[in-house]
Amino acid sequence: MDIATQTEIILRGAGYETWPWTGVTPAVICFENAALIGFVHVFSSADELLARWEAAQQTVLSRHSAVLRAAGAKAWNVYSVFLAEEQAPTQQRAVERIEENFVLTRKIARAGVRTQDDVERALLPLTAIKAQPILSDTDFQDRLRARLKDVSADVLTAFLAATSAEEVAKILAEKP
Amino acid sequence: MKLDFVEVCGFRGFREKVRVNFGSGFTVITGRNGVGKSTLCDAVEFALTGSIDKYAVEKAAQESLNDYLWWRGKGKPSNHYVTASFKRDDGETFAITRTRKSGADKTTAQIETALCHSMRPDDAIRQLCRTSIIRDEWIAALSLDLSETERFELVRSALGPVQGIDFSVKAKAVLKAIETAHTVRQNAYISARTQLTNALTQLSEAKEAITRAGDVSAAMQMLAAAIPDGPEELVARLAAGRAALTEGRARIGAMGEAIAQGREVLALRRAYDAPDAVQKREAARVHVEAATKSKLEAERVAADAERGLQLEERGNAIAASLAAIIEHGEKLGRHDEHCPLCAASRTNAEFAAGLALARRRMEALASGVAVARQRAIAARESLRRATAELEQAQGVYTAFESEQSRLTGREQAHIETFERHGLEFRFVRDPDGLEHHLAAERDRLINLERALLTLEVSQSISKLASLEDRIAAFRKEADAAAAQVENSEEALATAKAIDRGVRSISGEIIDERLAQISPLLNELYQRLRPHYDWRSIEYSIRGDVRRFLSLKVGDGLNPQFIFSSGQRRAAGLAFLLSVHLARAWTPWRTLLLDDPVQHIDDFRALHLIEVLAAFRLDGRQIVCAIEDPALAELLCRRLLSTSDAIGKRYEIDIGQDGATTIVSDMEIPPMPTGVLRSRSEIQSVGL
C-alpha cells in the first residue's frame, strides 16, 4: 500500500488540501484546511522512523519557516505525521511515545500502517467524526408482518392502522 | 439549531444582568474556580427545565437547591431571571425566560416542540439536557460507573423512542381485551356445562326412581288413609302427605321422649311405693310423734324443776336474813329479859331455845336450794336431748316428704309432655304401651313415605320428556360456548404472538440501534485513547426482560474495574459523546462541556480537544467552560472558527461587588486559509 497516496485520499476526503513537497525523498505530503497545517512523513521502517523523525520534522519546518511565521495563530496548529508500514510490535510503544512530545508540532506517529483502515485510524485527530449512526423505524411494520405470517392479514392491518385496541380484539375474537 | 445567547440576572453568582452571546461555531469560557463558569451551563439547563440536575443531594439542613438558585450575596439585583435563546438554521429564534416570580414564559410542550422532533423520548427536555450538557462531576457517574441496566436505559432513552413502543402498548391492550373476553367465554362455557350436568343428574335420578317405583293404587290408598280429609288434587294431596309425614315424624320424636320420661317416672313411683319404703316413711312418722311427746314431757319436767328452784332460791334468801338475825340476837342477848326482836318476855332458856329453833329453820331453808338446782339442770338436759331427737326425726320425715314432692313434680311434667304433643293419656302410666304404639306409628309413616315416593315418581315420569328437551338445549348451548372458548383461545394465542412479536422486534430494533452506535463509540474511544493497550471498546447487550449494556475492552475486560480514574473519565467521555451524537430526535446541535478535562492528563486533554474539533468540522456548536487558560487558548486555536460560524472566548471573574462579571469578550477570527500551499509554492519556486 502506498501510504502517502492513501493519506492524501483520506485527507482530501476530510476537506484538506494536500500536495507533495518534494524537497526531500521520499516526498512529504503537506496538508492544510481552515484550521490546520501539517506534514506527513513516510518512513521505510519503524527503526528509521524512530531514528529520523526529529530530523525530518526539523527539515520540513525549516524549509517552511517563513510561511509558518506568516501564518499567525495557525502556525500553532501544525501537525507532523510520521508513518511506517513495517509491523514492529516491540517498537510500537516507542513510536507512539513520540506523540507525547509537544515541542514545535503536534505529532502523530504510527508503525504497522498497512491498510487504508490503519491510515484512517492514524489520521483520526485530523478528520471529522466518521461513524454516523442512521436510526430509522421505517421497517418496523414490514418486519412485524414478516414475523407474524400466521396471523391473518386483516387482523395485522387493523393492528397496524389507527384501529383501537378494543376493535382489534373484537376482530381477533371473530376470526383469529 | 444552536444556542444563541444566555442572559442572567440575579441568578446564582450573577447579581446584575449579564448576557453571553455564543459564537455559532464555539464559545470558550474561562475563569478561576468558583467564578461562575458552570453557572452559564446551569442557566441553559434551568431555562429549559426549571431545575439543575447536577446536584446529587436535593436537600440538606432543611434547604434545597431552590434556596440557592437566585442571588444570595450582598446587594439586591434589579431582577431575577434567566433567558436562553436558540437560533434555528433558518435564523428564527426561540427564547425561554424563566423568572423567580412567575416561572417560565413557555410551556414544556412548547419547549419540546421547538427543540425536539415529533418522535421524541419521554421527558424529552430532561433527556436533552442530560445528553447535551456534559459536566465534569457526572462524566464517570453517567457512563462507566452506571450499572449495566442503568447504562442500557440511558442509551435507550437517549436514542429516542422506536415506533414499536406505541405498538407494544397497543398489543398489550389487545391482549388484555382478549383475555377479558376469553374469561367471560370460559365462564359462560362452565355455566352451560354445569347446567347440563345438573340436568343430566336429574334425569338419571328420575330414571332410577322410576325403576324403583311401586304400586300406585296401593300408594293412593295409603295416602288417603293417612290424610282422610286431604285435598283431591294429586299435587296438593302429595304436599299434604309430605306435611303429614313431617308432623308424624315430629310426633314420633315426642313419643320417644315421652317413653323415656314415662319409664323414669314409673321407676321412681315404683321405688317410692315399695313396702320397705312405705315402712320406713311410717317409722319416721311414728318416730316424730314419739319424739314430740317426749319433748313435751321434758318441757313440763323442766318447767317444774325451774319453779322448784325459784322457790328454793327465795327460801335461801330468807335463811340468809335469819342468819343475820340469829347472829345479832346472840350478840345482843335478851333486853331487859325480853326478846330484842319481838319484845316478848323470855327466859334465857326460852331465848336460847328460840335461837336454836331459828337456827334449825335457817339450816332447813338453806339445804333445799342445792337439790333444787341439781334437779333443774337434769331437767334442762333431758329437754335438750328430747329436742334434738325430735329435730332428727323431723329431718328424716321431711326428706321423705321432699321425695314425694319431687316425684309428684316429675309426674306432672310427664303429663304436660303428653298434653304438649297431643299424646294419648292412656299411655301416661304405660310407657311400654306407648312404645308399641310408636312402633306402629313408625311403620305407618314408612309406608306413607314409600307411598309418597311412588306417587312422586309417577309424577316425574311425565317430566322426563321435558327434562330431555332441556338437556338437548343445554348441550347445544355448551357446544356453542365451547366453540367460542376455542375461538378465543386461538385469538389469545394470536394476541400473545402479536405482543411477543412487537416486543421482540422493538427489542431487536433497540439492539440494532445500539449496535449502530457501537462504531461511533469505538471511534470516539479510539480518538480519546484512554488506554495504550486496549485500543477499542465493545458494546455488549444481553438480557431479555431486564436489559444490560456492558462495555468491554481487550479480551472481555470491564474497564470500570481496570481503568484509572482519568482513564475512566476519558472512556466515559467517549460513551457520553457517542450518546450525544446518536440522538436523531433533536435539531439542537450544541454540545456544552463544563470543565471536562479535570483529572485528565495533557495528552488526553489534547485528544479531547481534537475530538471537539472533529465535532466542529461536522458543523456542531461547542460551548466549553474550562479553567486552564492554556487549554482555553488551545481550544480557541484548534476549534474551527469561520465567518459563518465564529468562535468566541469569554473570560469571567468575580468583581469588586462579589458578583460574577465578564472580564473579556472576544471573537476568535477565522484562520487564514491556503497559506502553506501558496507560500510554499512561492518558496519552492524561489528554491
For A150, the grid coordinates are: 400466521
Q: Does B26 touch chain A (CB under 8 A)?
A: no
- Nearest chain B residue to A39 by CA distance is B676
From chain A, the residues in CB contact with B525 under 8 A are none
Q: How far apart are CA B392 and CA B405, in angstroms?
A: 20
Place of cell 356453542: B480
- Confirm if B6 and B43 have CB atoms less than 8 A apart: yes
- Torsion over CA of B330, B335, B340 and B344, rounded to 10 degrees? 120
DSSP state of B336: T
**B75: which strand partners?**
none
In this prediction, the residues of chain A whose per-residue pLDDT falls under 50 are: none
The residue out of B379, B409, B431 marking a domain boundary is B431
Q: Does B381 touch chain A (CB under 8 A)?
A: no
Task: Return the pLDDT at B677.
Answer: 75
Entry field: residues in chain A: 176
Q: How far apart are CA B447 and CA B288, in angstroms?
A: 61
Residue B581 class from Cβ within 10 Å (0-12 exposed, 13-18 middle, 19+ buried)?
Answer: buried
Tell me how far CA of residue B79 lies from CA of B5, B8, B645, in angstroms.
18, 9, 32
Would you call B675 and A77 a contact, using CB atoms and an 8 Å cutoff?
no
Select the CATH number that applies to the domain covering A3-126 from these four: 3.40.1350, 3.40.720, 3.10.580, 3.40.50. 3.40.1350
Task: Return the pLDDT at B564.
Answer: 86
Q: Which residues contact A113 (CB under 8 A, 6 or more apart)?
A: A1, A3, A83, A84, A85, A119, A122
Task: Return the pLDDT at B686.
Answer: 38
The residue out of B431, B449, B466 marking a domain boundary is B431
Q: How far apart are CA A109 and CA A89, in angstroms?
A: 14
Q: Please report, for chain A, the start and end positions of each structural domain, with discontinuous segments joined by +.
A: 3-126, 140-174
Are residues B133 and B277 both part of a single domain?
no
Would you call B524 and A129 a contact, using CB atoms and an 8 Å cutoff?
yes
Task: Return the pLDDT at A99.
Answer: 94
For B303, the grid coordinates are: 318447767
DSSP state of B407: H
Max CA pair span of chain B: 215
Residue B133 lies in a domain: yes
Q: Which amino acid would we find at residue B202?
A: Q
- Confirm if B542 and B502 have CB atoms less than 8 A apart: no
Would you call A140 and B527 a contact, using CB atoms and an 8 Å cutoff?
no
Place of cell 446541535: B589
- Confirm if B567 and B575 have CB atoms less than 8 A apart: no
Q: What's the gap in Å between the CA of A43 and the closest CA on chain B?
A: 22
pTM above 0.80, yes or no: no
Number of domains in chain B: 2
Helix (H) and strand (E) counts in chain A:
8, 5
> Strand A106-110 and strand A78-84: pairing?
parallel
The residues in A 102-161 lying below 8 A from B, measured between CB atoms, are 102, 106, 121, 124-135, 137, 140-141, 143-144, 147-148, 150-151, 155-156, 159-160
Place of cell 325480853: B338
Residue B676 lies in a domain: yes
- The DSSP element (H or E) to which B7 belongs, if any, is strand B2-9
Would you call B513 and A17 a contact, using CB atoms and an 8 Å cutoff?
no
- Nearest chain A residue to B156 by CA distance is A135
Residue B220 lies in a domain: no
- Torsion over CA of B49, B55, B58 and B63, rounded to 10 degrees? -100
Q: Does A51 touch chain B (CB under 8 A)?
A: no
Helices marked H in B106-162: 108-115, 124-132, 148-159
Residue B497 lies in a domain: no
Residue B97 lies in a domain: yes
Would you call B520 and A165 a contact, using CB atoms and an 8 Å cutoff?
no
Residue B337 lies in a domain: yes
Q: How far apart are CA B7 and CA B40, in angstroms?
A: 9
Please choose, from the candidates B446, B414, B454, B455, the residue with its C-alpha nearest in 3D space to the C-alpha of residue B248: B446
Nearest CB to A135 within list B505, B584, B638: B584
Residue B148 lies in a domain: no
For B669, the grid coordinates are: 477570527
- Confirm if A125 and B523 have CB atoms less than 8 A apart: no
Using DSSP, state whether B624 is helix, strand or coil: strand
Residue B509 lies in a domain: no
Would you call A64 and B680 a contact, using CB atoms and an 8 Å cutoff?
yes
DSSP state of B427: G
Task: Return the pLDDT at B322.
Answer: 86
Here the CATH number for the domain that contains residue B58 is: 3.40.50.300
Q: Does B178 touch chain A (CB under 8 A)?
A: yes
- Confirm if B284 and B397 have CB atoms less than 8 A apart: yes
- List pLDDT tens digits, range B129-185: 989 999 887 787 777 778 888 888 888 777 776 666 678 888 999 999 999 989 999
The residue out of B408, B431, B454 marking a domain boundary is B431
Entry field: residues in chain B: 687
| Domain extent for B678 | 2-138+586-686
The interface predicted TM-score (ipTM) is: 0.88
Q: Which residues contact B341 (CB under 8 A, 6 or more apart)?
A: B325, B329
- Confirm if B112 and B125 have CB atoms less than 8 A apart: yes
To test the contact with chain A by mutation, choose from B512, B615, B634, B671 the residue with the greatest count of A C-beta atoms within 10 A, namely B671
The residues in B 301-330 lying below 8 A from A, measured between CB atoms, are none
Q: How far apart are CA B86 and CA B24, in angstroms?
A: 10
In this prediction, the residues of chain B whose per-residue pLDDT falls under 50 are: 682-687
Would you call B618 and A128 a contact, using CB atoms and an 8 Å cutoff?
yes
Using DSSP, state whether B398 is helix, strand or coil: helix
Q: How far apart are CA B482 and CA B269, in angstroms?
A: 75
